[in-house]
């Protein structure tokens, strides 16, 4: 599987680290809305088809990328810098944390 | 400044090695520049950083990913958005860049003791590197002066093409001896000379 990094060009998937589902929106840290936190932490769409994902080009330019990957075919239809639309807060979590 | 010891140690064995019956495929050397500096611009300040690099080194970098330039004394290339690796044959580049790069533009970090610079040169240089990295090393895809960042397994490497058949590789100092040994193994079948 190749991911075409907007900076580095097409690279092998082994250079990239998966940073989790790109559909999540982190609630305000002060929020006490249990449903919103539950949705953020646990609920996933799990589609068979195009899926919004956050990847990091950890073995390259180290940029965070917003990727649309087809979960059935692994076809990558879109790659852009996550920061262009504002990197989701969850990509700043500590490495090793669960996705 | 403290005198630097090469991290390659006993693994650096000058002379001809491997299968060089048909000539030497590549020449390997440690180039040990006096300064290796990472310059990182805040988003939006990339042009100012490139101007600062040009004023200190005389190297004018083109726009675009991985663009770089080389001279007798300096080398510079972009390896990530807004980030550049800059080298100088002499010490003191970090201070010179820091003098030009204020906190409003970005940062200049001295990596002189943190990276080891290895040069591979020769007609088989592309071929040997192609064994180690999943990157297109053809000159059309990887022109002279330009640079990339990639990994060989977990060993991070920044690579600049400094000539038609010459590449300069910057690896973490602590991985340098292991990487050097692997590079020697990879070059074994085409014959290599260490100078």
Task: Quote ipTM for the complex.
Answer: 0.87
The CATH number of the domain holding residue A43 is: 3.30.2270.10
Contacts of A58 (CB under 8 A, 6+ apart): A15, A16, A17
Q: What pTM value is reported for the model?
A: 0.89
Residue A97 within a domain: no
Would you call A7 and B151 a contact, using CB atoms and an 8 Å cutoff? no
Residue B13 within a domain: no
Kindly list the distances between the CA atom of residue B129 and the CA atoms of A50, B162, B168, in Å, as whole numbers in the listed order: 35, 14, 11
Residue B16 within a domain: no
| Closest residue in A to B79 (Cα–Cα) | A61
Q: Of B110, B125, B145, which one is at a domain's C-terminal end? A: B110
Tokens of A18: 């998966």
- Per-residue model confidence as pLDDT tens digits over A41-79: 999 988 999 999 999 999 999 999 999 999 999 999 999
Tokens of B173: 């100092």
Decide: B165 and B121 in contact? Cβ < 8 Å: yes
Q: What are phi and psi of B8, to 5 degrees?
A: -75, -30
Residue B15 within a domain: no
Residue B126 within a domain: yes
User: How close, in Å, is residue A86 to chain B by CA atoms?
Assistant: 12
Would you call A83 and B43 a contact, using CB atoms and an 8 Å cutoff? yes
Would you call B81 and A81 a contact, using CB atoms and an 8 Å cutoff? yes
pLDDT of residue A86: 56
Kindly list the distances between the CA atom of residue B64 and the CA atoms of A9, A11, A16, A90, in Å, as whole numbers in the listed order: 12, 18, 21, 29
Q: How many angstroms from the chain centroid is the CA of residue B75?
A: 8
Burial bucket for residue B145 (CB in 10 Å: 0-12, 13-18, 19+) = buried
Burial bucket for residue B195 (CB in 10 Å: 0-12, 13-18, 19+) = exposed
Would you call B150 and A59 a contact, using CB atoms and an 8 Å cutoff? yes
pLDDT of residue B21: 85
Q: Are residues B28 and B40 in the same domain?
A: no
Q: Are residues B127 and B141 in the same domain?
A: yes
DSSP state of B68: E
The CATH number of the domain holding residue B147 is: 3.30.1360.120
Q: Are residues B130 and B102 in the same domain?
A: no
pLDDT of residue B64: 86
Q: Are residues B121 and B181 in the same domain?
A: yes
Residue A9 within a domain: yes
- Mean pLDDT in each 10-residue stretch from start to end of chain B (195 residues)? 83 93 92 95 94 95 91 96 96 94 94 96 96 94 95 94 96 96 96 95
Q: Are residues B102 and B151 in the same domain?
A: no
Number of other residues whose CB lies within 10 A of the CB of residue A66:
21
B-chain CB neighbours of A8 within 8 Å are: 65-66, 148-150
Q: How many angstroms from the chain centroid is the CA of residue B27?
A: 15
Contacts of B26 (CB under 8 A, 6+ apart): B120, B121, B122, B123, B124, B125, B128, B187, B190, B191, B192, B193
In the numeric block, the tokens 């790659």 are attached to A79
Closest by CA position to A93, among listed A54, A46, A45: A54
Residue B3 within a domain: no
Residue B8 within a domain: no
First CA to last CA distance, chain A: 21
First CA to last CA distance, chain B: 25
Q: Are residues B118 and B28 in the same domain?
A: yes
Decide: B39 and B49 in contact? Cβ < 8 Å: yes
In the numeric block, the tokens 């580049």 are attached to B93
Q: Of B110, B128, B152, which one is at a domain's C-terminal end? A: B110
Domain residues for the domain of A9 are: 2-28+35-92
pLDDT of residue B1: 59
Q: Are residues B65 and B45 in the same domain?
A: yes
Residue B98 within a domain: yes
pLDDT beyond 60 at A21: yes
Would you call B148 and A15 a contact, using CB atoms and an 8 Å cutoff? no
Domains in chain A: how many in total?
1
Q: Are residues B131 and B104 in the same domain?
A: no
Q: Distance between CA B148 and CA B46 in Å, rounded?
A: 17
pLDDT of residue A89: 46
Residue A12 within a domain: yes
Q: Are residues B98 and B75 in the same domain?
A: yes
User: How close, in Å, is residue B81 to chain A by CA atoms?
Assistant: 7
Q: Are residues B126 and B181 in the same domain?
A: yes
Give 3-state DSSP helix, strand, coil % of chain A, rounded to 5.
Answer: 20, 35, 45
Residue B1 within a domain: no
User: How close, in Å, is residue A68 to chain B by CA atoms?
Assistant: 21
What residues of A are in the B interface, CB distance below 8 Å? Answer: 6-9, 11-12, 14-15, 59-63, 81, 83
Would you call B80 and A14 a contact, using CB atoms and an 8 Å cutoff? no
Give 3-state DSSP helix, strand, coil % of chain B, rounded to 5.
Answer: 25, 35, 40
Q: Of B78, B110, B142, which one is at a domain's C-terminal end? A: B110
Domain residues for the domain of B56 are: 35-110
A-chain CB neighbours of B83 within 8 Å are: 61
Query: In this complex, which of A15, A59, A63 lies closest to B81 when CB atoms are compared?
Result: A63
- Please name every residue paired with B87 in a beta bridge, in sequence order, or none if there are none: B36, B75
pLDDT beyond 60 at A90: no
Strand-pair category, A76-81 with B166-172: unpaired
Tokens of B118: 């290895």
Query: In this complex, which of B80, B134, B156 lies closest to A63 when CB atoms are compared?
Result: B80
Domains in chain B: how many in total?
2
pLDDT of residue B136: 94
Q: Are residues B143 and B183 in the same domain?
A: yes
């Amino acid at each position: 599987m190749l991911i075409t990094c907007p900076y580095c060009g097409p690279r092998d998937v082994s250079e990239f680290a998966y940073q989790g589902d790109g559909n999540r929106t982190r609630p305000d840290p002060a929020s006490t809305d249990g449903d919103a936190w539950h949705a953020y932490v646990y609920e996933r769409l799990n589609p068979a088809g195009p899926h919004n994902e956050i990847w990091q080009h950890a073995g390259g330019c180290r940029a965070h990328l917003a990727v649309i990957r087809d979960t059935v075919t692994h076809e990558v239809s879109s790659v852009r810098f996550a920061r262009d639309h504002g990197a989701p807060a969850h990509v700043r979590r500590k490495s090793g944390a669960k996705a | 400044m403290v005198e630097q010891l090469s991290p390659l140690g006993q693994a650096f064995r000058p002379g001809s090695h491997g299968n060089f019956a048909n000539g030497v495929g590549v020449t390997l050397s440690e180039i040990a520049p006096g300064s290796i500096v990472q310059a990182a611009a805040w988003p939006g300040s990339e042009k100012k950083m490139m101007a600062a690099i040009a004023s200190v080194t005389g190297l004018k970098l083109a726009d675009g990913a991985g663009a770089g330039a080389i001279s007798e004394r300096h080398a510079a290339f972009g390896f990530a958005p807004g980030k550049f690796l800059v080298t100088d044959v002499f010490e003191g580049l970090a201070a010179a860049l820091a003098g030009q790069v204020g906190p409003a533009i970005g940062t200049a970090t001295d990596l002189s003791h943190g990276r080891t610079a290895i040069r591979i040169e020769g007609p088989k240089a592309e071929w040997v590197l192609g064994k180690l990295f999943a990157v297109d090393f053809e000159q059309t895809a990887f022109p002279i002066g330009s640079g990339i960042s990639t990994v060989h397994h977990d060993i991070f490497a920044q690579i600049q093409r400094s000539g038609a058949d010459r590449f300069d590789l910057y690896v973490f100092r602590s991985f340098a001896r292991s990487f050097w040994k692997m590079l020697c193994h990879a070059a074994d079948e085409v014959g290599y000379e260490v100078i």
